[in-house]
Amino acid sequence: MLPNDYDLSIVAVKYALDQAKKETVDEVCKIVKKQLALADGTEVCGSSKFQELGADSLDTVSEL
């Protein structure tokens, strides 16, 4: 079974984060944290999953 476009987008984001500089990953994580209005103590890193952060499907689409 082939992955759908959504799955390919997730793979592309994960690949980009794996290849990105630490400063870039940190900036993306900062933006995600702000856009999801996460509490100050919530850790967001390159391996964080949107679902674990409480993002719903609309949040996920707007982040991508």
pLDDT in tens, 21-38: 888 888 888 888 888 899
Three-state secondary-structure class, residue 38: coil
The residue that leads in pLDDT, 3 or 42, is 42
Alpha-helix runs per DSSP H in 1-64: 5-19, 22-35, 57-63
pLDDT attached to residue 2: 46
Confidence category of residue 8, pLDDT binned at 50, 70, 90? low
Average pLDDT over residues 43-63: 78
* DSSP annotation of 20: S
Please choose, from the candidates 35, 13, 36, the residue with its C-alpha nearest in 3D space to the C-alpha of residue 24: 13
pLDDT attached to residue 20: 73
pLDDT attached to residue 1: 44
How far apart are alpha carbons 17 and 28 in whole angstroms? 9
